[in-house]
Amino acid sequence: MKTKEISRNKLLGIAGTGWMFDAMDVGILSFIIAALAVDWQLTSSEMGWIGSINSIGMAVGAFGFGLLADRIGRKQVFMITLILFSVASGLSALTTSLWAFLILRFLVGAGLGGELPVASTLVSESVSAKERGRVVVLLESFWAAGWLIAALIAYFVIPSYGWRIALIITALPAFYAIYLRRNLPDSKRFIKEGRTEQSTGQKLKLLLAPTYRKRTVMLWIVWFAVVFSYYGMFLWLPSVMVLKGFSLIKSFGYVLLMTLAQLPGYFSAAWLIERAGRKFVLATYLFGTALSALAFGNADTLTTLMIAGAFLSFFNLGAWGALYAYSPEQYPTAIRATGSGVAAAVGRVGGIFGPLLVGSLLTAGYGFGIIFGIFCAAILVGVLSVVLLGTETKQTELA
């Protein structure tokens, strides 16, 4: 039992560190956008494109690398994606034009989008049914640590040394791949059962076969709603604070404080998910996210902004943890990474439109109340899909 516990914790730590680096890169982008807006004098629409091109890359990466992970294994793809987003992020520090920056952010997004569903699939297949949900939510909690590191880099590095140095720091995780190669085992379940003669087309067709159609449709709706709202709201948080009249450095500090609420969001979801079940946790935390988004969009004082922003972080990231635990459990081993990757790719399409929507609506003169009201409505659609179409998978053995 002791050996098993150490093995599980080691896997969680190794995969979680990669997850943390992923979050650090996404998190730093929200602060970079605010800094670039000042440095390159960007319009709201151009700022929106930076977030959206990242999501376009994530959609491509989630789809392509999800398929690849069902063909060559979880570990290999995990390392490839880590190197891709780290190197591209470091190179983006050298750019002098928006177009070059956008091209490299696409590559960063491809690596990020590929890593997340593959890492959650690897961990899901490597722990027992009775603790699988809790462990995957704890894996997702490393996202909060990555965002906190990003916020600290933004607060202490960007004002003094500039956004380029911050991006160079995000290239360091590439060296972590060397450690992964020596210390991360591949999924034993995949090695034993995952290699099949099915073609890519057959695997994709199977996702919409009668056995899995309802689950697939539910996942696609939820992923789209969650990613659309998350990237629309969180990539714009520092910029929203600036547009509301706060200085750049104060805005970074306030967002850092809001980000701290992500950790209790994850830990409470991890505690509940094996007790109340996946559907309850996912639907409840999404509903809390919707109400918090509405409150944040209509907040008119610093106190209400901070409280609403903290609740937004708490509920939204708890919901993310539940979603990553829930998604791999919908499919058998042979198509698990494919199913999770395609669902994530559909979600990333939402991530393309979210930041663009904010930029275009701000340019058109709409207020944050309307913008965040749209995100609230999208999340409520996700809640309904979980409640009406979702199947409870708490403590069920993986096929």
Q: What is the maximal distance between C-alpha atoms in the chain?
A: 60
**Confidence band for 399, pLDDT divided at 50, 70 and 90:** low
Q: Over the stretch 235-293, which tens digit does the pLDDT of each residue have?
A: 777 777 777 777 777 777 788 788 788 889 888 998 898 888 889 999 999 999 999 99
HEC readout, the chain = CHHHHHHHHHHHHHHHHHHHHHHHHHHHHHHHHHHHHHHCCCCHHHHHHHHHHHHHHHHHHHHHHHHHHHHHCHHHHHHHHHHHHHHHHHHHCCCCCHHHHHHHHHHHHHHHHHHHHHHHHHHHCCCCHHHHHHHHHHHHHHHHHHHHHHHHHHHHCHHHHCHHHHHHHCCHHHHHHHHHHHHCCCCHHHHHHHCCCCCHHHHHHHHCCCCCHHHHHHHHHHHHHHHHHHHHHHCCHHHHHHHCCCCHHHHHHHHHHHHCCHHHHHHHHHHHHCCCCHHHHHHHHHHHHHHHHHHHHHCCCHHHHHHHHHHHHHHHHHHHHHHHHHHHHHCCHHHHHHHHHHHHHHHHHHHHHHHHHHHHHHHCCCCHHHHHHHHHHHHHHHHHHHHHHCCCCCCCCCC
State residue 2's pLDDT score: 39
- In our burial notation (b when 16+ CB lie closer than 10 A, e otherwise), range 313-345 reads bbbbbbbbbbbbbbbbbbbebbbbbbbbbbbbb
Burial class (CB in 10 A: 0-12, 13-18, 19+), 120: buried
pLDDT for residue 374 is more than 90: yes
State residue 195's pLDDT score: 61
State residue 213's pLDDT score: 92
Kindly list the structural domains of the chain, giving each domain's residue range(s) and its CATH number in brackets, ordered by start: 2-182+198-389 (1.20.1250.20)
Least confident interval from 134-143, 264-273, 372-381? 134-143
**Confidence band for 4, pLDDT divided at 50, 70 and 90:** very low
Stretch 358-362: mean pLDDT: 86
State residue 3's pLDDT score: 35
Least confident interval from 191-195, 206-210, 388-392? 191-195
Q: Over the stretch 197-235, which tens digit does the pLDDT of each residue have?
A: 667 788 888 888 888 999 999 999 999 999 999 888 887
Cα distances (angstroms) measured from residue 159 to each of 149, 152, 215, 294: 15, 11, 46, 31
Q: Over the stretch 11-32, which tens digit does the pLDDT of each residue have?
A: 888 888 888 888 888 888 888 8
State residue 224's pLDDT score: 95
